[in-house]
Amino acid sequence: MLTLGIETSCDETGVALYDDARGLLAQALHSQVAMHERYGGVVPELASRDHIRRLLPLTRQVLAEAGVALDAVDAIAYTEGPGLAGALLVGAAVAQSLGFALGVPTLGVHHLEGHLLSPLLSADAPDFPFVALLVSGGHTQLLRVDGVGRYALLGESVDDAAGEAFDKSAKLLGLGYPGGPAIARLAESGTPGRFELPRPKLHSGDLDFSFSGLKTAVATRIARGLPTEQSRADLAAEAQAAIVDVLVAKSLAAVRATGLRTLVIAGGVSANRRLRERLADASARDGLRVCFPEPALCTDNGAMIAFAGALRLRALREAGLAVPHAGGFDVRPRWPLEQLAPA
């Protein structure tokens, strides 16, 4: 089965073609970072308009690279939510229109489920069950994953997510957007520990996160003065270390609490090199298996949507249930992952 995946939840337009038998055939991604950078964050109206411009050319590009005609597509999956309403509507409208014209199953996919399952696209894919740290721009969650759609929430951010802490700290330091890569670049020349920043909820005894206080602490330290570029780099290194320390500690606590031995990290922040290094050290020390998505699959992308959609459609068919076809549609800007039905 050939599944075309479309992702337009925020500031990246992603298209991919996934084959059940051959795997990922082709994908293309356009990032809007350069457009939004001057504003210090995503402008929803500009994001929606850019998706309109990019989506069909990217779809043609993916089909050409895969050597597949449009009428050979067997199913279409698109991001139904969560995300920016206008951006989601662009992808949903194109997907539903193509699905109606082709007469093929057309399925809305949960954006976070796409991230959560993206490590399964790797050559050395993890097996169920596992603990997952889902860490992206607006979400930080720990889940027990027993199968597609079988997710138990173990802990989550009670205020700012880790990605928001990176973005807000970067903005306070006068760095570019997006904040995570900007902080990481500056931190390369800095030394953590010169400045002392809090590790919120590190010893709370639960698996929840809180990063709003970290942003406040960064702002307070900046207000006291950072006279040199080295001091800015040192503060960036400490901010990154504080976020990573909490993510690692809570993830390992979740593994211990569940008794599982596999930890999966997914979402945009999973690309952070320091986070990967710390978890690799923990893996070697504690005999755990730690799995990350391929670097190209850490950010929003069409491949994870095509893959998640293909898994969902396969499960419906195996259960003898009706598959969704194109027709009336809506999007879900707010859509808690725990509301997803099992596959």
pLDDT digits (tens, 9 = 90+) for 121-154: 998 899 999 999 999 878 899 999 999 999 999 9
pLDDT digits (tens, 9 = 90+) for 161-215: 999 999 999 999 999 888 999 999 999 999 999 999 999 999 999 999 999 999 9
**What percentage of the chain exceeds 90 in pLDDT?**
91
pTM exceeds 0.85:
yes
* Dihedral (CA of 172, 177, 182, 184) sign: positive
The position carrying tokens 């662009």 is: 90
Average pLDDT rounded to a whole number, residues 289-301: 93
What's the pLDDT at 51?
A: 98
Contacting residues for 180 by C-beta, under 8 A, at least 6 apart: 163, 166, 167, 170, 268, 269, 271, 272
What's the pLDDT at 341?
A: 80
pLDDT digits (tens, 9 = 90+) for 104-128: 999 999 999 999 999 999 988 999 9
What's the pLDDT at 278?
A: 95
What's the pLDDT at 178?
A: 87
**Rounded Cα–Cα distance for residues 76 and 183 (Å):** 37
Contact at 8 Å (CB) between 227 and 181? no
- Cα–Cα–Cα angle for 207, 208, 211, nearest 5°? 135
pLDDT digits (tens, 9 = 90+) for 243-266: 999 999 999 999 999 999 999 999
Map out the domains of the chain with their CATH numbers.
2-116+298-339 (3.30.420.40), 128-292 (3.30.420.40)
| Phi and psi at residue 36, to the nearest 5° | -85, -15
pLDDT digits (tens, 9 = 90+) for 49-97: 999 999 999 999 999 999 999 999 999 999 999 999 999 999 999 999 9
What's the pLDDT at 190?
A: 97
Contact at 8 Å (CB) between 131 and 262? yes
What's the pLDDT at 176?
A: 81
